A and B are shown apart, each in its own frame.
Chain A
Amino acid sequence: MKTNKINVWVTRLMLGALVFSFTGCAFLMAANDALKEGKLVDNLEPSEEYYLGRGVSAVIIQNYEPIKIDTPKQETQIKYLNDMAGYIEKAAQGVTRSARKLGDHTDRSYDQQEHVYNLALHKGIQVGILNTEEVAAHGTPGGFLWLSYGAIHMCKNEDELAALVAHEMSHIILDHGMANYRSAHKSQIASSFASDHMFPGDSKFSNFGRLCVTGFESMRNGYNPGQEFEADNWGTRALAVSGYKPEAMVEVLTRVEEFEKAHEVKPEDYLAHHPPIHKRIDTVKELIKTEKLTVNPKSQTAEAIKARSDRFAAAFK
């Protein structure tokens, strides 16, 4: 009788081990297998996000010529933007991991927030410049941020540029692009005229290529209004903790409003897909007021403001 019981338990244990080893292997191969079938898994590893970001960035480069970084002026610009973005990201790490604190604009649990913070920045933020006066800004998975000269030239000082960088960077940190893509296409890799033209095959390499192309197209179509409000929220808080005045977010949004009034925004333009700007300005003002967001007075002395003004002019005037 006793021997029988032992046998039953040994069998159960062996079956358990078998199931565990199968599920373990299945988990490990998930991303690769999904890619073969044209699907996108829910959770990518940081290095996978980085490779996806490289692919999407390559598609951005095909659509907008990046600067070549072959003059001292361009080197100054790239170093300046990368220092700024990296510093804001570091200073703002304590801002929040809670979706609740970001205004309940998107549905994300505390654990999901923790997860996206960790995977977004495999190698830190890498900022590049697109050589066009069109207003465009694209953050990809894996930490690539592409800003056009048109977007940069809209800013009148360093604090406004920091607001633009903080807003766009938050789309990366909060994984808005991929979250959008997954929900829009139910985690299937989408195809489009451009993606099928570049990648007509059905191999996993073609599927990855199609994902990069349609990933960019999804980002170019804009984020949903909730994500834009969340990015404004994160960006405004990030400004305050990194020594920039939070009101700079209102100022840069006002510049966008002025731009929209002065230029005809076409349906295919980047700005056409943002929520009404006056609503965003009001929401940011309310956030600053209710959360009592202030900035360290030391960063607002005449000397500090002049130092930032001088280096902004040296880079972009």
Chain B
Amino acid sequence: MDRWKKFPWRRLLALVLAMAALIFASTYSKGEDMYVKVASSNPDAVVLSSTDFFESEPLGNLKQNQSVEMLDKTDGEYVKISATVDGKKVEGWVKKVILQKKPLENSPRVSESGAVDNASFAAPGFDKEIENGMRKESPEMDKALTQLQDFEKKRARLMGLKESDDPDFEQDPTPMLNSYRDFANSGGLKN
């Protein structure tokens, strides 16, 4: 009975509490793993240094289905993430809607270095193959799609993007975002 009383219960309790706090901290200091829903050519795939459109600097583009760590910080619709972009670890902000908890099925997997294992991915429904089949069935449609392709190429050049005949070509949208920013500044629209 005496030994029972002498046992350092308080120390044990403190130890248990300290361990629980450590486990809690380690769990919550690591953010939730999320996956990128959009293609890297989507303007929202750019990781930004700030949530202010005018002040932010682009830190790089996320790839579709890339795994990112969502840190426990949000600002309106934006969320802070940690991710590997072009082989470098960056922390920045993206729109929360471009992330989802599970990886996309039938999509390219992205390795730690940020390289895409299968870049030829396209959604299994409407894609280049379906479009090409449609072109073969209708010469009028073929002609119109060629005109559309010409429009997309010229528009890409004007917005500082790369011209490509491939609809699946993944652009780096950074020059386009800079162009938007210049437009706002030169028109006195900056908030």
Contacts and interface: CB of A to CB of B under 8 A. Distances in A.
Contacts of A47: 39, 122-123, 126-127, 168
Given A118-B37, A118-B38, A307-B187, A58 B145 contact: yes
A126 interface: yes
From B77, B126, B179, B191, residue with most partner A Cβ within 10 Å: B126
Interface string A264-304: 00000000000000000000000000000000101101011
Contacts, number: 209
B39 A24 contact: no
A55 B188 contact: no
B17 interface: no
A164 interface: no
A62 B144 contact: yes
B124 A28 contact: yes
A44 B122 CA distance: 12
B188 A298 contact: yes
Contacts of A255: none
A43 to B, nearest CB: 10
Interface string B142-174: 001101101110110011000000011001010
Given A28-B105, A201-B137, A208-B133, A126 B189 contact: no
Contacts of A198: 138, 140-141
B144 A59 contact: yes
A75 B158 contact: yes
Interface string A25-64: 0011111101100000100111110111011011101100
Given A48-B127, A51-B128, A122-B42, A205 B155 contact: no
B191 A54 contact: no
B145 A311 contact: no
Nearest to B128: A51
Contact of A61 (B137, B148, B171, B187): B148
16 contacts: A28-B105, A35-B125, A46-B37, A47-B123, A48-B125, A48-B127, A50-B167, A51-B127, A78-B155, A86-B177, A97-B97, A118-B97, A126-B155, A208-B133, A243-B187, A311-B187
Given A46-B123, A198-B141, A205-B136, 9 more contacts: A48-B126, A55-B126, A62-B141, A75-B154, A87-B184, A91-B189, A123-B171, A198-B138, A208-B133
Interface of B: 37-39, 41-44, 53, 76-77, 95, 97-98, 105-106, 122-128, 130-131, 133-134, 136-138, 140-141, 144-145, 147-148, 150-152, 154-155, 158-159, 167-168, 171, 173, 176-177, 179-184, 186-191
